[in-house]
Amino acid sequence: MEQQDKIVQEEKNNLGSIRVADEVVRIIAGLAATEISGVCGMSGGVVGGIAELLGHKNLSKGVKVEVGEKETAIDLSIIVDYGSRIPDVAANIQSTVKTTIEKMTGLKVVEVNVNVQGVAFAGDNCEDETRVK
């Protein structure tokens, strides 16, 4: 069964229409979060682990979005590097994700919730971390 992406935003202009899918918002949020210093990676749970085992890089792993016509709310599940100050990392994520999504999509971000799911120690390879092996 193929899941069809929900169209988040549709804008019409004199040349035609522009459509943004909710998966695009998830990918933007995930990529923006992983660029923050102190973030080892995203925590996607069992479903994300299965997708990665099948060879699919899930760029929206650990990201949930609720999108309306003009606003969005985002929940992120992350893994932080050991030694990072978690409140500072979370605040940087909130600011960066909000700014990036608003710039790229035109949607107003009403909240960015950050859930810390784990801590990675020196030498851990976060990008290859999965719960299912």
Report the chain's terminal Cα–Cα distance, integer Å. 25
Task: Enumerate the domain spans of the chain.
Answer: 22-128
Residue 78 backbone phi and psi in degrees, to 5: -125, 165
Neighbours of 120 (CB within 10 A): 17
Q: What is the pLDDT of residue 130?
A: 40
pLDDT tens sequence across 4-43:
555 555 667 778 877 778 899 999 999 999 999 999 999 8
**Quick check: 55 and 131 in contact, CB under 8 A?**
no
**Quick check: 53 and 93 in contact, CB under 8 A?**
no
Please choose, from the candidates 71, 70, 77, the residue with its C-alpha nearest in 3D space to the C-alpha of residue 93. Answer: 77
Domain 22-128 has CATH 3.40.50.300: no
Mean pLDDT of 120-132: 60
Q: What is the pLDDT of residue 50?
A: 40
Mean pLDDT of 114-122: 91
Q: What is the pLDDT of residue 118?
A: 92
**Quick check: 89 and 80 in contact, CB under 8 A?**
yes
Higher pLDDT, 50 or 99: 99
pLDDT tens sequence across 31-89:
999 999 999 999 876 444 444 444 446 778 899 999 888 899 999 999 999 999 999 99
Asked if residue 112 has pLDDT above 60, the reply is: yes
Q: What is the pLDDT of residue 5?
A: 56
- The tokens for 110 are 């009403």
- The tokens for 105 are 């999509």
